[in-house]
Amino acid sequence: MAVLDAQALSQIPSSARVLELGCGQKRLVPHSVTIDVNSNSRADIVHDLNVFPYPFESNTFDMVLAEHVLEHLADVIRVVEEIHRLCKPGARVLIEVPHFSSSEFFTDPTHRHAFSTRSFDYFVPGTDLNGFRYSAATFHKRRVHLTGHSRYLTRFINDHVGVFERRFAFLYPAHVIKFELEVIKPPGP
């Protein structure tokens, strides 16, 4: 099951406190709290996601959804730290971003960042990239999934992500990466 697909979203319990970052004109989860910089969006709260802190208390949310928003923001590390602050221990964070090989990444002049399947490893204890200690925010990387090809090629790519990204990404570009992260932090008060 890929994150941010209709089936996964339909399984979110109505009791879960869900935050949608950069919601635009749609709401993925009917009972979520939505936030967007655009006053013409359908956001519950209008706020620039490049301005910290976000207008919520710490340890508020059971889940955060960020569908095609992180690539537009100035400081991905600060945004991930803010997501971590807002989430309860064990909260799920579902992220969808453009893959670095996607031509769609280069089409949108507001895109600032492209991502690889290892981009969030900086926040995942035990990974080689976490050793750089850019942030104290930590997550488990539960799932990562590349999309943009036939079912068979997608399966092959996801079974051999490292080889794909190092050798074949620009021959057979991926379009989107979907991440499922779980917040690691001590239980709140």
Q: Let me know if residue 189 belongs to a domain.
A: no
pLDDT at 188: 58
Q: What is the count of structural domains for the chain?
A: 1
* The pair of three-digit structure tokens given for residue 55, joined into one six-digit string: 């207008």
Cα distances (angstroms) measured from residue 111 to each of 35, 104, 139: 19, 10, 25
Q: What is the CATH number of the domain that holds 82?
A: 3.40.50.150
Q: What is the pLDDT of residue 150?
A: 82
Q: What would the mean pLDDT of 64-83 be, rounded to a whole number?
A: 97
pLDDT in tens, 12-64: 999 999 999 999 888 999 999 999 999 999 999 999 999 999 999 999 999 99
Q: What range does the domain containing 170 cover?
A: 6-184
34 lies in some domain: yes
Question: What pLDDT shows up at residue 180?
Answer: 95
Question: Contact at 8 Å (CB) between 1 and 8?
Answer: yes
- Kindly report the three-state secondary structure assignment for every residue of 153-172: HHHHHHHCHHHHHHHHCCCC
For the chain, how big is the Rg over CA atoms in Å? 16
Judged against a pLDDT cut of 60, whether residue 1 lies above it is answered with no
> Does residue 20 lie in a domain region?
yes
Give the three-state DSSP class for 63: strand
189 band by pLDDT with thresholds 50, 70 and 90: low
Within a domain: 1? no
Domain annotation covers residue 80: yes
Question: How confident is the model over 89-95, as a mean pLDDT?
Answer: 96
Is residue 17 domain-resident? yes
Count how many residues are written for the chain.
189
Angle at alpha carbon of residue 43, lines to 59 and 13, rounded to 5°:
50
What does pLDDT average to over the chain? 93
Tell me the pLDDT tens digit for each residue of 156-165: 999 999 999 9
Share of the chain above pLDDT 70, in %: 96
What do you get for the CA distance between the two ends of the chain, in Å?
A: 33
Under a CB-based contact definition with an 8 Å cutoff, are residues 83 and 53 in contact? no
Structure tokens at 93: 């964070």
The pLDDT assigned to 81 comes to 98
Give domain status of residue 128, yes or no: yes
- pLDDT over 90 at 5, yes or no: no
Q: Is residue 147 part of a domain?
A: yes
Mean pLDDT across 91-117 = 94
Q: In what order do the strands lie in the sheet with 176-184?
A: 45-46, 33-36, 18-21, 61-67, 87-98, 176-184, 138-147
